[in-house]
Structures are given as C-alpha cells and as structure tokens.
Amino acid sequence: MRFQPLDVVVLETDVPAHGLKRGDLGAVVDVYEPDGLEVEFVTASGKTEALLSLNTSDVRAVGDNDLVAVRPYNGAA
C-alpha cells in the first residue's frame, strides 16, 4: 500500500525500545521512497511519545473492522 502524510496506521510489531505494542496507532509524518515512513505515536491526550523511521512492512492501514482502545503507556521498556 502507498501511504501519504497524515494517514493513520496500525503498528504490526512490538517496538519495546519505545514502549510501543502491535496494534498501536500512529500518524504518517513523512514518506521516504521506496518504502520508508516517519511515523508519530502520541498518547490519548496528544503528547508525542515516539517519532520513528519505519518500513512500510512495519505498519498497515486502518481497517473498517479495527476497534480503537486505550492502554496505559509506560514508555520505553
């Protein structure tokens, strides 16, 4: 899939170094060809917790059957 800036994406794998888990939502900040993305992850209150360079295979588009949930964020493990 081709992502665009401001697309909401779903993390496909845990990133323990940043306290992120599979299923966390992020927003695409920038797209780097051919398959790189800069993705921002924020708390529910809007505080940026991580800004990561990821591969397009590390995320997926949000689907119609996805349910949004809230979990405690404890930061980097």
- Residue 43: give its domain's CATH number: 2.30.30
Residue range 52-66, pLDDT digits in tens: 999 999 999 999 999
DSSP-based three-state secondary structure for 20 = strand
Whole-number Å distance between alpha carbons of 59 and 68: 16
Q: Is residue 77 part of a domain?
A: no
- Determine the pLDDT at residue 77: 60
Q: Is residue 35 part of a domain?
A: yes
Q: Is residue 52 part of a domain?
A: yes
Centre a 10 Å sphere on the Cβ of residue 1 and count the other Cβ atoms it contains. Answer: 8
Whole-number Å distance between alpha carbons of 51 and 38: 7
Q: Give me the domain span that covers residue 15.
A: 8-61
Q: Is residue 2 part of a domain?
A: no
- Determine the pLDDT at residue 70: 92
Q: Quote the number of domains for the chain.
A: 1
- Determine the pLDDT at residue 8: 97
